[in-house]
Structure 1
Amino acid sequence: MSTPAVVIAAPASGSGKTTVATGLIGALRRSGSRVAPFKVGPDFIDPGYHALAAGRPGRNLDPVLVGDALIGPLYRHGSDDADIVVVEGVMGLFDGRIGAAATGTARGSTAHVAALLGAPVVLVVDARGQSHSVAALLHGFATFDHSVRIAGVILNRVGSARHDDVLRQACEQAGVPVLGSIPRADELSVPSRHLGLVTAVEHGRLAGAAVDAMTSLVARHVDLAAVQRAAAARVGDGAWSPASADPISGPVTVALAAGKAFSFGYPEHAELLRGAGATVAEFDPLADPLPADAAALVLPGGFPEQYGPELSANDGVRGQIRALAERGAPVHAECAGLTYLVDDLDGHPMCGVLSGSATFTDTLTLGYRDAVAVTDSPLHAIGERVVGHEFHRTTVRFGSGRQPAWRYSGRAGEIVQDGAVRAGVHAGYLHTHAAAHPEAIARFVATAASTTRLARCRAREEQK
């Protein structure tokens, strides 16, 4: 039998599903359950809070990035040894990729993922400003798509005992069980910035305190036993393995940037690197040197624009990264990593691996992209196609002679030449999910091994 699961969804963004999902993960764990947390969509921020609540990595389920067939296997991989899975949805229950074909369940929506998993949905409803109308809302969501089963509702931001009574009567009329009723709790707030919540790793102790408060709130006001009874999901057969190819022969160390400025990464990326035979060594470019014997480098997304002076001040690691790239070692950079590799970010000197300047803007670039590789690199051969996601407020003005990494249609339909490829460097704004392209990770590690062997041979020749 597959691990039981429940999907926490809402009629719209802002209903409180992150608070409820994170608190539910923590409350179930506090009660003795081993909880595996997931987030629908490409978001990197919520999984950080899920991880604090669960004590294990928060993972993503995004059929747009990885395809329908991988959702079940990735679920099974991430829920190994767990007693229950909590999946937090994205936006409203039926909100999916904009521009996708309007047939059936919207692609990439919470409903899409719930249907793929066969998992029941618990709807979080913001009860402010309504009472009996909740019945009509629940009736509509319960009957709109019969591939999705609404197992219950958690009423959020309930104003009083009288308000609670009226809402429960409305839910009974709609035939949807009430699994919890949470009063208004203004003290539960996590700081936000231009791309959403401040990441858990940046928020530090305050993030832990916020998660503890969410956990206690849900534990007091949600029927955990009822949620566990509802979580009777079964997922499809199949399993995902982080082995991306036959392991390489010989040790290869891949340096992986982490910390406050580079926290946007999927756990499967490091797992696939290890599966391909690499040793993954994390480091924080804000303070650390490049790990010893690094043969390759991965720079994920994050918020470097918040830490420009600090990143610039660590000129030792900037020089090491520049030297690594100049040796032809493979470097994979996404979004924040791209802005770290150029000459400067908002005037602060960066690594200078790529000719260009990055600046923070008032414009949010957000959305899925169907991209094609336009230059051969240690990750992709020219012509390879991927689905990725953009999520940034910076822009890069490149120097002359740039070879772009990707080509795709932007949000207004314009043709975008994204990123740059130079020797072993592949950098761009596009975020991809490594599980959808294990062959790219295998190619990356194999290139690192080959480059390392070549460098050693040259060193021996020079010693003769």
Structure 2
Amino acid sequence: PGGAAGTGASADVAALLGWPVVLVHDVSGQGQTAAAIVRGIAGHDARVKVAGVVLNRVGSERHRRLAGEAIEALGIPVFGALPRDEKIALPERHLGLVQAGETHGLDERLEALADFIEAHVDVGAIVACATIAAIGDVIPDASRKRSDRESSMTPDAPVAALDSRSPAARASGMTRVVALPPPAQRIAVARDDAFSFFYPHLAQSWRDAGAELCFFSPLADEAPPEDCDLCWLPGGYPELHAGRLSAAQGFIKGLRRFAQRGWLHGECGGYMVLGRALIDAAGAAHEMAGLLELETSFAQRKLHLGYRQAQLAADHPLGAVGLRLRGHEFHYATVLREEGLPFALARDAYSDDERPAGLASNGVSGSFFHLMA
């Protein structure tokens, strides 16, 4: 995040890797105005090449011609037009799409969506315009554009190379490395509808490094396995299940026992559960594990969103003090109380300021950002 290289937006990533962009543009309520918007996007950043456009939520054939012909007059191809169809819409909630595991009939929905795309989009034209850029040819130019602030933050940061099975990795000759060393040999990981935001690439990299992940369900009132060295509470939707979690005394007491002999770490929702109380959207307060001096509320929602770069504020199972971490924050919680030593010092993509992030106390730690590397 940050610096002249960009903020981590899709356009910044495309510019960094030298990849063309296919713009999917919602033309609801637009005619020729769609061309003005596409022209603005295509000309906004010279580093970004817009290879073509797919029109979304098209109302009629006349609507398609009106918007599509105006865009094509700019010399930008239109690869297809998707008509409005609520049957293909995926359900949403306050943090975006309802997750795959909770979506009924997802495989059938995806099959129908694939047929829908094939019927209305020239997929072959999109494939033909795609290019694979060798990472080594792109990174040096982007690096020279970084600000001093970003450069000073990143030299020793753990950076994950590409998976050796990916086309970009094969083109660049890079091989897969561990994104972030595992924090323990045996790691207990909470996994259910309340704790579901755990990056698969991170879990796989820990397995590849020899760690064993042992999953348990707090909503089923399961405690973290006692033969594990560290317990990891991922993010998710504890605010939707706060009453059940508070009543799951086997889980709550298990966390407290675990904290007496092993390390506990929580990300976002997991961090809130390690605190003293969580207030749900209706204003009801629910007692949590009480292992950190933290109280959070969803009664007055406030969006927190963006990429984060952080440095460990003290030695931690993840690494020594000063280790640089990368992650992102996305939640609507309001902090009512947060007292103690910070887990890390973090900055976002738009500011030079380093601010305390999370808490760490007596073998228990957490923060609102999700680790990516």
TM-score by length of 2: 0.76
Matches within 5 A, 1:413-424: 416-424=355-363
Instruction: Classify 1:314/1:206 alpha carbon distance in 2 versus 1 (closer, same or farther; 3 Å).
Output: farther
1:228-247 → structure 2 map (5 Å cutoff): 228-236=127-135, 237=172, 238-242=174-178
Displacement of 1:194 in angstroms is 2.9
Aligned residues: 328
Pairwise CA distance, 1:399: 7.7
Q: Is the 8 A contact 2:179 2:202 kept in 1?
A: no
SS at match of 2:235: coil
Give the RMSD, CA atoms, in angstroms: 3.1
Closer/same/farther in 2, CA of residues 342 and 221 from structure 1, 3 Å limit: same
1:86-235 counterparts in 2 under 5 A? Answer: 100-101=2-3, 103=4, 106-201=6-101, 203-205=102-104, 207-208=106-107, 210-235=109-134
Secondary structure in 2 matching 1:164: helix
Q: 2:314 aligned with 1:375, yes or no?
A: yes
Amino acid in the other structure paired with 2:176: W
The percentage of counterpart residues that share the same residue type is 38
Matches of 2:13 and 2:353 in 1, distance apart?
Answer: 30
Change in 2 beyond 3 A, CA 1:420/1:142:
closer
- The residue aligned with 2:301 is 362
Q: 1:324 corresponds to which residue?
A: 258
Retained in 1: the 8 A contact 2:312–2:345? Answer: yes
Letter of the 2:76 counterpart: V
Which secondary structure does the structure 1 equivalent of 2:292 belong to? coil
- In 1, are the aligned partners of 2:52 and 2:78 still within 8 Å (CA)? yes
* 1:343 to 1:208, Cα distance in 2 relative to 1, 3 A: farther
TM alignment of 1:1-40, pairs within 5 A: none
Question: Contact 1:408 / 1:417 at 8 angstroms: preserved in 2?
Answer: yes
What letter matches 2:229 in structure 1? A
- Cα distance change, pair 371–208 in 1 and its aligned pair in 2 (3 A): same
Which amino acid in structure 1 is aligned with residue 306 of structure 2? Answer: G
Aligned position for 2:143: none
Please, which runs of 5 or more residues in structure 1 have no aligned partner? Answer: 1-63, 65-99, 435-464
Structure 1 position 261 matched with structure 2 position 194: yes
Task: Report how far residue 422 of structure 1 moved.
Answer: 2.0
* Structure 2 CA distance for aligned equivalents of residues 422 and 186 of structure 1: 49
Alpha-carbon offset, residue 307 of structure 1:
0.6
Partner amino acid, structure 2, of 1:166 = L
Name which of 270, 276, 287 aligns with 2:209.
276
Name the amino acid aligned to 1:290: P
The alpha carbon displacement at 1:244 in A equals 5.5
TM (norm. structure 1) is 0.63
Choose the corresponding residue for 1:307, options 237, 241, 266: 241
Deviations 1:103-147 (A, max 9, x none): 5x6331222211233322111122233333444443443344343
**DSSP 3-state at the match of 2:236:** coil
What secondary structure, in the 3-state scheme, does the structure 2 residue paired with 1:205 have? coil
Instruction: Say whether 1:343 aligns with 2:279.
Output: no
Higher relative contact order (CA 8 A, sep 6+): 1
Letter in 1 for 2:341: Q
Letter matched to residue 272 of structure 2:
T
Q: Does the 8 Å contact 1:378/1:426 carry over to 2? A: no
Contact between 1:300 and 1:337, CA under 8 Å: does it hold in 2?
A: yes
| Structure 1 match to 2:168 | none
Say if 2:224 and 2:258, in contact at 8 Å, map to a contact too: no
| Superposed CA offset, 1:164-184 (max 9, x none) | 233332233122222111111
Does structure 2 retain, via aligned residues, the 8 Å contact 1:375–1:403?
no
Q: Give secondary structure in 2 for the equivalent of 1:377.
A: coil
Q: Match for residue 296 of structure 1? A: 230
> 3-state SS of the aligned residue for 1:152?
strand
Change in Cα spacing, 1:414 to 1:193, as seen in structure 2 (3 Å) is farther
- Partner Cα distance (1:120, 1:409) in 2: 30
Deviations 1:438-457 (A, max 9, x none): xxxxxxxxxxxxxxxxxxxx
**CA separation in 1, counterparts of 2:37 and 2:304?**
32
Cα separation, partners in 2 of 1:387 and 1:278, compared to 1, 3 Å: closer
